[in-house]
């Protein structure tokens, strides 16, 4: 049996469209700090999304995965904040969250847009799986912000 050895990571050639070197990736994600008070399950997901963005220097598609992953953190917090959330799908959580005032109209709009992108990719309807970091970072930042706002708001 032969053993296949994977090569050490090399920069994705597309990485140089947005940074000069791996160390510059820190500048892209330095503001993505998980605030105190975020449940550990959501905090772990947010930190993973941040690191996926950083590692997109080596695997460009990780920026897309980061966006999809960051929505998981929002869903975790919504399930905690919305009474009777149970196993409702994300679109119902967004609607219910907006209806009862857990989410602002702006938050609900952004989340629904992200949900549609996630669903298109998850269900094979979106064929372009590489989201440039310049597009992914603001979307992940939105997830960080919404989680932070939801966790800072008093519970009902």
Segment 14-61, tens digit of pLDDT: 998 889 999 999 999 999 999 999 999 999 999 999 999 999 999 999
Res 119: pLDDT: 87
pTM: 0.89
Q: Is the confidence at residue 106, as pLDDT, over 60? A: yes
Higher pLDDT, 50 or 133: 50
Among candidate residues 132, 81, 74, 123, the one with its CA nearest the CA of residue 102: 81
Q: Is the confidence at residue 9, as pLDDT, over 80? A: yes
From CA 18, how far away is CA 33, in angstroms rounded? 21
From CA 45, how far away is CA 69, in angstroms rounded? 7
Segment 49-89, tens digit of pLDDT: 999 999 999 999 999 999 999 999 999 999 999 999 999 99
Res 118: pLDDT: 85
CA distances from 20 to 57, 83, 134 (A): 10, 47, 14
Among candidate residues 85, 87, 81, 49, the one with its CA nearest the CA of residue 150: 81
């Amino acid at each position: 049996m032969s053993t296949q050895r994977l090569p050490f990571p090399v920069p994705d050639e597309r990485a140089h469209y947005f940074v000069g070197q791996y160390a510059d990736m820190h500048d892209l994600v330095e503001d993505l700090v998980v605030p105190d008070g975020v449940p550990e399950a959501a905090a772990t997901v947010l930190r993973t999304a941040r690191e996926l963005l950083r590692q997109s220097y080596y695997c460009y598609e990780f920026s897309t995965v980061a966006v999809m992953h960051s929505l998981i953190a929002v869903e975790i917090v919504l399930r905690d904040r919305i009474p009777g959330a149970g196993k409702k799908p994300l679109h119902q959580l967004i609607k219910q969250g907006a209806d009862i005032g857990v989410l602002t109209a702006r938050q609900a709009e952004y989340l629904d847009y992200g949900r549609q992108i996630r669903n298109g990719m998850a269900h094979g309807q979106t064929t372009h799986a590489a989201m440039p970091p310049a597009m992914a970072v603001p979307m992940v930042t939105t997830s960080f912000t919404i989680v932070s706002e939801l966790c800072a708001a008093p519970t009902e």
